[in-house]
Amino acid sequence: MITMARDLPLLWPEILVLLAGAGALACEMLRLPRTALAVATALLLAATALSLPLLSLDTTVFGGTFRVDALSVWAKLILLPATVLALLLARAELAGSDREGTVYALLCFTSFGALVLAGSGDTMFLVLGVLLSGLGAFALVAYPRDDAATEAAMKFFVFASVAGAVMVFGLSYWFGATGTTLLDDLATPGLPPAAIAIGLAGMIVGLGYKASLAPFHFWAPDAYEGAPVSVAAYLSVVPKIGALFALAQVARDLPPGSGWSGAVAAVAVLTMTWGYLAALVQDNLVRLLAYSSIAQAGYFLLGIVAVGASPLALLSLVLFGAAYAAMNLGAFAIIQRSGRTLESFAGLGRARPAVGVAMVLFLLSLTGIPPLAGFVGKLLLFGAAIDANHTWLAVIAIVNSVLSLAVYLRIVVALYRQPAGAPGVPAGGALVTLVWVAALAATLLIGLAAQPLLAPLV
Amino acid sequence: MAFEKLVFYILAAILVYAATRVITVRNPVHAVLHLVLAFFTCSGLWLLLEAEFLAITLVLVYVGAVMVLFLFVVMMLDINLAPMKEGFVRYLPVGLPVALLMLLEMYLVVRAKYFGVEQMPLPPRHGADYSNTAELGGVLYTDYVYPFEIAAVILLVAIVAAIALTMRRRPDSKYQNPAQQISVRRQDRVRLVRMEADKNE
Amino acid sequence: MENVYLAIALAPLVGAILAGLFGRLIGRSGAHWVTILGVGLSFLLSLLVFKHHVIDGAGAFNGTVYTWMVSDGIRMEVGFLIDRLTILMMMVVSFVSLMVHIYTIGYMHDDPGYQRFFSYIALFTFSMLMLVMSNNFLQLFFGWEAVGLVSYLLIGFWYKRPSAIYANLKAFLVNRVGDFGFLLGIAAVAMYFDTLDYADVFAAAPSMVDATIEIFQGSPWSLMTVVCILLFIGAMGKSAQVPLHVWLPDSMEGPTPISALIHAATMVTAGIFMVARMSPLFELSDTALNVVMVIGAITALFMGFLGVVQNDIKRVIAYSTLSQLGYMTVALGASAYSAAIFHLMTHAFFKALLFLAAGSVIIAMHHEQDIRRMGGLKKYMPVTYWTSLVGSLALIGFPGLAGFFSKDTIIEAVHASSLAASGFAYFAVLSGVFVTALYSFRMFFLVFHTEERFDEHTRSHLHEPPAVVTVPLILLAIPSVVAGYWIDPVVFGDYFGGAIFFSDAHPVMEELTHEFHGAWSFVLHGLTGPAFWFAMAGLFTAWYVYTRQPDLANQARNRFAWLYRVLVDKYGFDRFNEVVFAGGARGVGWLLWKAGDVVLIDGLLVNGSARVVGWTAAVARHLQSGYLYHYAFGMILGLLAFLSWFIWWG
């Protein structure tokens, strides 16, 4: 068929991601976990490379249901390398465990789900993406099969089921009112805004849960805490960015006057403030970073509010997405190498200066201190929000950034404190080191080379 | 036309009753059976809408497979209902206003202004040669082939996830190694022992 | 040349990174070699740049090295402005830093944090060079914060001492006040000029003279005054001007090489440099110049008094630094920018010399810093003695030495200034000369002359420190003597060219230039001026009181006990901060705790909500995973809120 011949090549990256998952499964069947890792990594990198030629496109495939536009392609360029880093983290943490290869396969499938979300041109993709990126995630969280992990996965699963049900329920009304599932058709003039109210609310619940936006974030700290650190790192980056990009895809087509921007701005304020306030009292670093990742999701919303109103919006989302992926994965990698509690970080900065400096840089970048990646991303987000006449939102975001300094400085202080007992600093494996070095390089590169990176995008 | 309306109202009434009973009935087995009833009436409604394929699939898949599985699960799990009931009552003061508010708002949206018959054009009637299945297939394998395939992947992931969680190698479980079994030679397994005949005889 | 500029800045950074991250790998000697090579390279290249621009006469370089990002039309860049002001600063910074690096080999010899220390001071050199070489406000601010950061790290270098941690925190907090003003100033510049580039701002400044800014409704203020005063608040923090000076004496908790490099020669002069760099802005506001002059005069005189009652050898020098910074600030206020920079340079040499000499004494005395337990060190430490003498004479402005030229010029400039504050400032700087001589030679006599007041054990180990300590002393003594003769081109000639701007309304330097007839006649003229006699009086007083009539000091102390108390209390600045700011903060904290936590959170939210939703908790207990119900309920409430919002809106 004609459309197949045109459309399928545009989906090569997705197909390769699927193949990566399937290949990892096949290797797992043969009990070859190392080969599974190698196959998955190679195919994911190949998928990243194949995404590059698509960068200039702005088109859709299969009758407008899936978009191959800047947001969707950048999602691949950000999320696939992030998945590779997560694979390496998982290898370092779970090597030798039973069903190791399945973990790699599930990571690939979950990333596929995130890509489906990021390119949604149709409400069906929203549903499928949320489902697909959830199913694998439950198994990944429960993977260690101890009590903590099982409980975490159970909460995650039930919460996700309710959220998913609400979303599908809402979207069915959306379909009833508009007679179509295409997001493009939302822009049809004359569509009464209230008709899609249930659909919009349901969709915010579903994507909000996936992106852990307040008040749909409750599952995240529990699930991250019970899960292996590498899985927590992965969940805090890949599905989250996928869902946020999906929100941006929806925002592009919404009719004006639907109350959308006000609602998103309110969620942004709630998410940022709640996340940082809760993070302030955590002693478990995984929980702390979980709340921090909730708060960071609120910053993305500044860009989503501005979609359509500011030329900076998409740019800021992409740049902050890349920055967030790098700095968050880096911080998690160092937690994986050094321990989950604040106490286990005591004196790390003195015992291992390079690790300490890297962690400080990740944390400063998360705060948004120049000249690191987080600053560039947040600056653009603030600019986008101000462009879109949401100056008050930008001001609240800046105030929250100050609050976040208190959150992150607690870790920095711990890094350079005298350890209470004997300094039992574990040596990190080569893989973890590779991950944080790569993340650090990205954090610095995005921060320092902002203009050269931005110039072709603007 | 009048008969169709009559059938619709009967089926709709049964559907609403069955759905209400699903969440109010005490015994979980009864609840599942009410759900089965709801599915049946629902598929009847879909038949009226000329969605034959979907109607049959609903019965085959949900009634035939999913609900039976549900019944097994419900029967195997011995659920104690008393505390749930207690929780329900205690939650009511908060839950009820929220539920009522939600209901009100949904009414505001779903009332005739947006979802009334006038807003929805009547779909044209199709002749006897119209195949619902073929139409569905035509859409499913062209415009919607991508979501269709993704749905397939979701099923695969669900299986993989379930297996990854439940089937683990256990140290005490025994495996066959076909390669070893095939390459075995007679002298590895059989030892000829020369025995003296029993002298007692 | 662009690559040379880059290399000057980056060479110390490379050294810092190698020593900091791979310190264990390259070992102690590796750490000091990489950093010394880096800083040495910077110094040599700075000389090359000097030759290129000053001797060969190439014009100033102003170029962007790297465009970081462009946001809303404001370009954020890394760029270099290499004019003669910058070159002078580059040479001073890299030279003093190099001396301190070499000296540190001896001073920190036994310290476990050896590599870390070298990494920090090389990092500091990098930051300071970036600060002075900047061609825009953003990079200036980065350098400003970076030198501050390294300074805190180094004050708290011996983090096991509680006093070091306290001093560290104090420096951090006080500097935040200054930085806040500085940041507001930069923000105002960005807002009104729409650019952060020096050249663009300076070019646009004259057209903004009459611009006003209304911070409070109905009271328009001159924009230039507001901007300049905000920027100057930043300078007050960094250059330790009253009342933001309190951190500097405490910063002496850091190792002595740091006191020499950061808290005397370079970082604390960043404020002076900044104001000189901003001369095209400051010249436009007489109000700002008056403020600058008054603050400087107060600092110059009153901080000097405090030096007289201090007994810690490093603190005496610290107060002397405060006082000298005051002199520079006064010069800035009098529009004698070149004199301020000239004094900055000579001060960098002789003050670094004095600190390093003090460090030498401290090593020899086994980390004894109290001058009451020294005395008579002349015969044990001849090199330290003679170099200290040179440094002290230069400090008090003995004719012919470096300090004389720079300080006398400042006094003359203040005399010639027509600003409202110049009368008070002239009195302050002139009296300051007497005080300077008094405390300098009080310390000098108590340390090197008078009877020995230490025990036998110390005496047996007393000897001149090794060459890595004494050689930098000698190398610093040379410019302390001869740098003054450069006065002709630097202050009165056209050395600075376009780098510094004088408005026609403040023709101070022009007047002085008319009266200047060469360095030697300047010396002769100085011998007849009041400043020289004030200095001699101070010197003589110190000699008489502390070597001839030691009782006199005690009598004076008893007679003027109240005055002594005031001075020992440092005018109560610390007490004031302690009571008002720290106490206030504690009070506010207590209030918040009482009102916020106890009443609101505990009383209303925690207990109240416990009662209100107590039954929810009961439900939670009965159901196996109650929390999940809460989560789901939260989600449903969220859904309800959105639904209402969309319906009400639509």
Q: What is the pLDDT of residues C350-371, one digit of tens each?
A: 998 998 899 888 888 888 888 8
pLDDT, average across residues A111-139: 94
DSSP A431-451: HHHHHHHHHHHHHHHHHHTHH
Q: Nearest chain C Cα to A223, which residue?
A: C628
- On whether residue A175 sits in a domain, the answer given is no
Which chain B residues are Cβ-neighbours of C619 within 8 angstroms?
A: 87, 90-91
Q: For residues A271 and A404, is the Cβ–Cβ distance under 8 A?
A: no
- On whether residue A173 sits in a domain, the answer given is no
Tally of residues, chain C: 650
What is the rounded distance in angstroms from the CA atom of residue A89 to the CA atom of residue A92? 5
What pLDDT band is residue A55 in, cutting at 50, 70 and 90? confident
pLDDT, average across residues C130-154: 89
Which chain C residues are Cβ-neighbours of B94 within 8 angstroms?
A: 613, 616, 633
Preferred mutation among A157, A425, A444, A451 to probe C, highest tally of C CBs within 10 A: A451
For residue B119, give how far its alpha carbon lies from the nearest alpha carbon of chain C (Å): 18
Amino acid at C246: V
Specify the higher pLDDT residue, C528 or A102: A102
End-to-end CA distance of chain C: 64
Which of A165-169, A334-338, A372-376, C68-72 bottoms out in mean pLDDT, i.e. has the lowest?
C68-72
What pLDDT band is residue C613 in, cutting at 50, 70 and 90? very low
- Predicted confidence at residue A298, as pLDDT, reads 95
Side-chain half-sphere CA neighbours of A383 within 13 A: 21
Side-chain half-sphere CA neighbours of A417 within 13 A: 14
Contact assignment for A200 to C642 by CB distance below 8 Å: yes
Cβ count near C532 (within 10 Å): 20
β partners of residue C74: C71
Amino acid at C274: M
Range B30-56 burial, b when 16+ CB lie within 10 A, else e: ebbbbbbbbbbbbbbbbbeeebbbbbe
- Predicted confidence at residue C610, as pLDDT, reads 46
Query: Which of A41-50, B87-96, C5-14, C389-398 shows the highest mean pLDDT?
Result: A41-50
Interacting residues of A450 by C-beta distance below 8 A, sequence separation 6+: A319, A371, A376, C68, C69
β partners of residue A66: A61, A120
β partners of residue C197: C136
What is the rounded distance in angstroms from the CA atom of residue A384 to the CA atom of residue A313? 5
Q: For residues A273 and A400, is the Cβ–Cβ distance under 8 A?
A: yes
Q: Nearest chain C Cα to A354, which residue?
A: C21
pLDDT higher than 60, residue C606? no
Structure tokens at C384: 């330290």
Contact assignment for A3 to B151 by CB distance below 8 Å: no
- Predicted confidence at residue A39, as pLDDT, reads 95
Structure tokens at C451: 């009877």
- On whether residue A319 sits in a domain, the answer given is yes
Structure tokens at C134: 């900047």
End-to-end CA distance of chain B: 98
Contact assignment for C646 to A193 by CB distance below 8 Å: yes
pLDDT digits (tens, 9 = 90+) for B148-198: 999 999 999 999 999 888 877 665 666 677 888 888 888 888 888 888 777
- Predicted confidence at residue C617, as pLDDT, reads 37
Q: For residues C224 and C281, is the Cβ–Cβ distance under 8 A?
A: yes
Which chain C residues are Cβ-neighbours of A222 within 8 angstroms?
A: 627
What is the rounded distance in angstroms from the CA atom of residue A296 to the CA atom of residue A236? 10
User: Does residue A55 belong to the interface with chain B, where contact is any CB pair within 8 Å?
Assistant: no
What pLDDT band is residue B132 in, cutting at 50, 70 and 90? confident
Contact assignment for A205 to C635 by CB distance below 8 Å: yes
The three-class DSSP label of residue A215 is coil
- pTM of the shown model: 0.77
β partners of residue C136: C197
Q: Phi, psi (5° rounding) for residue A423?
A: -70, 90
Q: For residues A420 and A346, is the Cβ–Cβ distance under 8 A?
A: yes
- Predicted confidence at residue A427, as pLDDT, reads 67
What is the rounded distance in angstroms from the CA atom of residue C368 to the CA atom of residue C372? 10
For residue B120, give how far its alpha carbon lies from the nearest alpha carbon of chain C (Å): 20
The three-class DSSP label of residue C56 is coil
What is the rounded distance in angstroms from the CA atom of residue C510 to the CA atom of residue C512? 5
- Predicted confidence at residue C620, as pLDDT, reads 35
Range A207-226 burial, b when 16+ CB lie within 10 A, else e: bbbbbbbbbbbbbbbbbbbb
Q: Phi, psi (5° rounding) for residue C134?
A: -65, 150
What is the rounded distance in angstroms from the CA atom of residue A309 to the CA atom of residue A303? 10
Cβ-defined contacts of C162-166 (< 8 Å, 24+):
C163/C253, C164/C253, C164/C254, C166/C250, C166/C253
pLDDT, average across residues A51-55: 90
pLDDT digits (tens, 9 = 90+) for C150-178: 888 888 888 777 788 788 878 887 888 88
User: Does residue C596 belong to the interface with chain A, where contact is any CB pair within 8 Å?
Assistant: no
Structure tokens at A31: 């009990």
Instruction: Judge residue B122's burial from the number of C-beta atoms within 10 Å of its C-beta, 0-12 exposed, 13-18 middle, 19 or more buried.
Output: exposed
The three-class DSSP label of residue C197 is strand
- On whether residue A182 sits in a domain, the answer given is no
End-to-end CA distance of chain A: 37
Q: Which of A252, A238, A138 is nearest to A185 (CA)?
A: A252
Q: For residues C343 and C328, is the Cβ–Cβ distance under 8 A?
A: yes
pLDDT digits (tens, 9 = 90+) for A416-430: 777 665 555 566 788
- On whether residue A14 sits in a domain, the answer given is no
Helix axis angle for A260-280 and A391-415, nearest 10°, is 20
The three-class DSSP label of residue C243 is coil
Q: Which of A26, A37, A45, A16 is nearest to A90 (CA)?
A: A37
Using a pLDDT cut of 70, give the percent of chain C over it. Answer: 91
| C 130-149 residues inside an 8 A Cβ radius of A | 142
What is the rounded distance in angstroms from the CA atom of residue A311 to the CA atom of residue A314? 7
Specify the higher pLDDT residue, C495 or B69: B69
Structure tokens at A166: 């609400």
* Residue in the block written with tokens 């002397």: C320
> Closest partner residue to B87 among C619, C637, C644, by Cβ?
C619
Q: How far is CA C584 from CA A265, C172, C187, C587, in A?
A: 36, 18, 29, 5
Q: Nearest chain B Cα to C622, which residue?
A: B83
Which of B46-55, B82-91, C134-143 bottoms out in mean pLDDT, i.e. has the lowest?
B82-91
Interacting residues of A3 by C-beta distance below 8 A, sequence separation 6+: A61, A62, A63, B142
Which of A252-261, A335-344, C461-470, C491-500 bottoms out in mean pLDDT, i.e. has the lowest?
C491-500
What is the rounded distance in angstroms from the CA atom of residue B82 to the CA atom of residue A99? 40
Which chain A residues are Cβ-neighbours of B164 within 8 angstroms?
A: 99, 102-103, 106, 139, 143
What is the rounded distance in angstroms from the CA atom of residue C590 to the CA atom of residue C596? 9
- Predicted confidence at residue C615, as pLDDT, reads 43
Contact assignment for A155 to C68 by CB distance below 8 Å: no
- Predicted confidence at residue C621, as pLDDT, reads 37
Instruction: Judge residue C210's burial from the number of C-beta atoms within 10 Å of its C-beta, 0-12 exposed, 13-18 middle, 19 or more buried.
Output: exposed
Which of A358-372, C326-340, C511-525 bottoms out in mean pLDDT, i.e. has the lowest?
C511-525
- On whether residue A62 sits in a domain, the answer given is no
pLDDT, average across residues C522-534: 82
Specify the higher pLDDT residue, A428 or C645: C645
pLDDT higher than 70, residue C14? yes
Side-chain half-sphere CA neighbours of A24 within 13 A: 28
For residue B170, give how far its alpha carbon lies from the nearest alpha carbon of chain A (Å): 9
- On whether residue A284 sits in a domain, the answer given is yes
Structure tokens at C567: 């001075």
The whole domain housing A351 covers 259-458
User: Does residue A194 belong to the interface with chain C, where contact is any CB pair within 8 Å?
Assistant: yes
For residue A221, give how far its alpha carbon lies from the nearest alpha carbon of chain C (Å): 12
What is the rounded distance in angstroms from the CA atom of residue C608 to the CA atom of residue C620? 18
β partners of residue A122: A182
Q: For residues B157 and A135, is the Cβ–Cβ distance under 8 A?
A: yes
Structure tokens at C69: 């990002």
pLDDT higher than 50, residue B99? yes
Instruction: Give the 3-state secondary structure percentages of chain C, helix then strand then coil, rounded to 5.
Output: 80, 5, 15
Strands (E) located in chain B: none
Q: How many domains does chain A have?
A: 1
pLDDT digits (tens, 9 = 90+) for C68-112: 777 766 778 888 988 888 998 999 999 999 988 998 888 888 888
Q: For residues C270 and C191, is the Cβ–Cβ distance under 8 A?
A: no
Cβ count near B84 (within 10 Å): 12
pLDDT digits (tens, 9 = 90+) for B113-128: 677 777 677 777 777 7
Using a pLDDT cut of 90, give the percent of chain C over it. Answer: 16
What pLDDT band is residue A230 in, cutting at 50, 70 and 90? very high
Which chain C residues are Cβ-neighbours of A372 within 8 angstroms?
A: none
Interacting residues of A90 by C-beta distance below 8 A, sequence separation 6+: A103, A104, A107, A228, A230, A231, A234
Range A30-52 burial, b when 16+ CB lie within 10 A, else e: eebbebbbbbbbebbbbbbebbe
Amino acid at C407: K
Q: How far is CA A271 from CA A295, A385, C443, in A?
A: 5, 16, 61
pLDDT higher than 70, residue A16? yes
Structure tokens at C85: 């002001």
Measured over the CA atoms of residue C324, residue C325, residue C330 and residue C335, the dihedral's sign is positive
Q: Is C254 left (phi over 0), alpha (psi -120 to 50) or beta?
A: beta
pLDDT digits (tens, 9 = 90+) for C530-567: 888 888 888 888 888 887 777 777 777 777 777 777 77
